[in-house]
Amino acid sequence: MTQYEKLVVSAYTGILMTEMPDFQNFVEKTLGRPVQTFEFADELIWETLKEKLKPDFMELCKEDTPQIQQEADEPEKVSSVDNLISQATAISKQSAELADDLSKFKDGFDMTD
């Protein structure tokens, strides 16, 4: 995906795919005016961006993306994602157990003396 495509998708979806300064410069060029960071909290700026960038976004949606299909066809990548999910689940479980242990320790520690 090109930088321009990432900027279009970021502006259209609200999911930042680039560095913030690059995105802000793109938005300023698209709107033809300076944009303050706080303006990104206003829904109106997002609606305006979607309206202006809809043709470019829709063109991106039409493009063939054989790369994505190729990645989906590679089972080893799927299995490594499964491994990452398993590891994250194990870490989450260990964190919960540690929090329980710390809570029990805290409950057993008398602070009134």
- Residues 76-86: tens digit of each pLDDT: 555 566 666 77
Distance separating alpha carbons of residues 84 and 26, to the nearest angstrom: 35
Residue of 26 and 61 predicted with greater confidence:
26
Torsion angle, alpha carbons of 30, 53, 7, 9, to 10? 160
The answer to whether 57 and 9 are in contact (CB under 8 A) is: yes
At which of 43, 62, 81 does a domain end? 62
Q: Is the pLDDT of residue 72 over 50?
A: no
Is 8 contained in some domain? Answer: yes
The reported pLDDT for the residue numbered 102 is 67
Our count of domains for the chain comes to 2
* Residues 74 and 37 placed together within one structural domain of the fold: no
* Residues 10 and 40 placed together within one structural domain of the fold: yes
* Residues 13 and 43 placed together within one structural domain of the fold: yes
Helix 20-31 / helix 43-62 crossing angle, nearest 10 deg: 90
Tell me which residue range forms the domain holding 102: 66-108
The reported pLDDT for the residue numbered 40 is 93
List of residues 6+ apart from 56 with CB closer than 8 A:
8
Structure tokens at 79: 């299995």
* Residues 70 and 103 placed together within one structural domain of the fold: yes
